Amino acid sequence: MARSKDRHSQYRRIRARFVSAGCAAAIAAAAIFPNSAQAQTSERRGPFVRDAEIEALIRDYAKPIFKVAGLSSQGIKIHLINDTNFNAFVVDGQNMFIHIGALMKSDTPNQLIGVIAHETGHIAGGHLARLRNQMSKARSGMLMLQALAIAAIAAGAVVDTGSNDLSEIGAAVLYGGQSLVQRSILAYRRAEESAADQAAVSYLNATRQSIRGMLTTFELFASQILTSSNVNPYLQSHPIPRQRIAQLRELARSSAYYDNKDSPELQLRHDMARAKLFGFIELPSTVFNRYRNDTSLPARYARAIAQHHNGNLSKAISGLEYLIAKQPNNPYLLETKGQFLHEKGKSKEALAPLRKAVALNPRAGLIRILLAQALLNAGNKKDVDEAIGHLKKAISRDRTYPSGYRFLADAYYRKGRDAEAKLATAHRYLYLGLIPDAKKQASWAKKGLPRGSVGWVQADDILVFQPPRR
């Protein structure tokens, strides 16, 4: 499991585009729950989490939902945020963000699938684009109100009536106008949230999945939302909880699949992924308490990870080997074993489990990158070519691996292929948003690459690249 700080800078830039549009709430406009301020704080501070096992599980959850929503060809990316709060949101038609807390706090796959279905409803409905349009209209309205207010204030100052009524009216327009604009936007958001709920139900029905998990999740969080009579319902960023839950219950009762349950195989994968997160994120003592007297495979998984964090490699490996014996074709258990060995300076010993993991799941770029890193650290010159091969395959499938470019540059330097190393570094800097550094590396790379070659063209593309204006 890797927590990627490389992606964080890009995410901040994505977020900044929407915030600069005039409303910080835009980024969380399609969040499931109205705890958006807390969510935004975590977005600013936390890195992303990259893990082959968890990403594969989330993709399997989302694939049938995307298909029935007509989005399977859009290449939507799902990003995991290193935040243990339960939340998920979209910012455009191409990216969905899920807090790891959403997985950790979902007891069943169906609960998280309901979350994904809801967010898919926002994407399919084009809610974010329409929200930005609504905000633009609201800003135009606000400018008009401000002009009227200034005129009223000016009139109150010029016309000596012995009263400042006009000035007070102008001030009221300024303050009241802001409230009207805010209410207009929030009312629009409530409508879109309800639309996303209904879309989610249709997707779940179309894939013959229960609405129970989605309803359970929303009921849980509705109980945590302030419902005091002093809270103005128009200022709530989502539908009033009681109304929203009542609507979902009505839709659930009409579903023929309400009593359908997740398969035991999928439930086990879900529990293993949750255990992995608990093992990596929580203190070892907390993990041991959480899974005390539990002999299930997920419990053993979490304890093995906790033993690794405790510095007890032998117990960690022993725990993983028990799991591997039970699931010999599980590439992620082999990957974790290889990771532990590699992190403890036993890179040569890590090669066998990592090579087998890649053989079992050749599409997992993160496993290939870990294997390449172990190959480079093992110190055998003959392994460098194998490392380059794995890194190139990983990057060709997914170019969002900055660490892959870093290790590829290292491998090329070891082979004396400096121009290719500089090109790999240029790609990494470009992805990180370090445009001047990327162009500098690309310029050096271009001089050493054959004119017209693929690498030469890529270097030239970086040199002419201009970031979008904000």
- Confidence class for position 367, pLDDT limits 50, 70, 90: very high
The pLDDT value recorded for residue 433 is 86
The pLDDT value recorded for residue 293 is 94
Candidates 112, 126, 110; CA nearest to 80 is: 112
Q: What is the mean pLDDT of the chain?
A: 79
Across the range 256-270, mean pLDDT stands at 96
Across the range 92-98, mean pLDDT stands at 85
Residue located via tokens 């968890």: 54
Torsion angles phi and psi, residue 237, rounded to 5: -80, -5
- In the chain, what percentage of residues exceed pLDDT 70? 71
d(C-alpha 459, C-alpha 417), whole Å:
15
Across the range 208-217, mean pLDDT stands at 92
Lowest model confidence (mean pLDDT) among 126-140, 359-373, 419-433: 126-140
- Confidence class for position 53, pLDDT limits 50, 70, 90: very high
The pLDDT value recorded for residue 225 is 56
The pLDDT value recorded for residue 251 is 87
- Compute the Cα dihedral for 356, 362, 365, 369 and give only its sign: positive
The pLDDT value recorded for residue 85 is 86
Residue 446 predicted with pLDDT over 90: yes
Residue 382 predicted with pLDDT over 80: yes
Token pair, residue 424, equals: 């790999």
Residue 295 predicted with pLDDT over 60: yes
Residue 337 predicted with pLDDT over 80: yes
Lowest model confidence (mean pLDDT) among 34-43, 183-192, 279-288: 34-43
| Tally of CB atoms within 10 A around 289 | 10
Each residue's pLDDT tens digit, 177-195? 445 444 544 444 556 788 8
The pLDDT value recorded for residue 192 is 75
The pLDDT value recorded for residue 189 is 56
- Confidence class for position 363, pLDDT limits 50, 70, 90: very high
Lowest model confidence (mean pLDDT) among 10-14, 47-51, 188-192, 297-301: 10-14
Each residue's pLDDT tens digit, 144-174? 444 444 444 444 444 333 444 444 444 444 4
The pLDDT value recorded for residue 236 is 44
Across the range 445-469, mean pLDDT stands at 92
Residue 348 predicted with pLDDT over 60: yes
